[in-house]
């Protein structure tokens, strides 16, 4: 995940069954860096949409700026598929946006929608959700470590209508580590 001085933010996630590196594939961590070379989300999406998705294991990529947000699905072959997200709250995991077949989305999307909307000075409701360790392993948002997989950090990013981005980062489990501003 990263953000640039033009207020473009990009975050990459794995798709189901694609955890970890694979021989002959580039790191998916390159994708946000490629996106952040651009001054707008639209330009970043245009570039990434023309790449060969077989260069990486399958991925989900979110790219946003103050004009809107995009979801890019890379299935490990062909070209990545880009979709502009409608205004509003969306939840993206290893699955497609708002896909209730994802146990995390099924359990937490409505919680985020019902929570007090975040404000630059008050993210308490969302921080509480991100810190929640309850539920079955597949639906946990703050995943208990198992088999080399688990939550090790957490971020909250805001792109205000005007002005500079705000990024709060918990450098550890979000139920234990404080969310601090990234400068």
pLDDT tens column, 29-80: 999 999 999 999 999 999 999 999 999 999 999 999 999 999 999 999 999 9
Mean pLDDT taken over the chain: 93
Do 8 and 64 touch, CB atoms closer than 8 A? yes
Q: What is the pLDDT along the chain (183 residues), one digit of tens a residue?
A: 999 999 999 999 988 877 777 888 899 999 999 999 999 999 999 999 999 999 999 999 999 999 999 999 999 999 999 999 999 999 999 999 999 999 999 999 999 999 998 887 789 999 999 999 999 988 999 998 888 788 999 999 999 888 899 999 999 999 999 999 998
- Residue 94: which of 29, 17, 11 has the closest Cα? 17
Q: What's the pLDDT score for residue 60?
A: 96
Q: What's the pLDDT score for residue 149?
A: 80
């Amino acid at each position: 995940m990263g953000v640039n001085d033009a207020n473009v933010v990009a975050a990459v996630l794995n798709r189901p069954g694609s955890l970890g590196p694979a021989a002959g594939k580039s790191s998916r961590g390159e994708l946000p860096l490629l996106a952040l070379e651009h001054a707008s989300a639209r330009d970043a999406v245009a570039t990434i949409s023309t790449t060969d998705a077989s260069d990486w294991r399958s991925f989900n990529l979110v790219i946003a700026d103050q004009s809107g947000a995009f979801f890019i699905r890379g299935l490990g072959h062909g070209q990545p598929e880009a979709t502009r997200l409608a205004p509003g709250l969306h939840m993206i995991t290893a699955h497609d946006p708002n896909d209730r077949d994802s146990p995390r989305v099924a359990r937490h999307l409505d919680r985020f929608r019902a929570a007090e909307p975040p404000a630059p000075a008050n993210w308490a409701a969302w921080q509480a959700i991100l810190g929640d360790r309850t539920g079955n392993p597949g639906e946990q948002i703050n995943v208990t470590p198992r088999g080399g997989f688990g939550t090790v950090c957490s971020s909250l990013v805001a792109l205000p209508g005007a002005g500079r981005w705000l990024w709060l980062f918990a450098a550890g489990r979000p139920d234990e580590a404080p969310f601090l501003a990234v400068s």
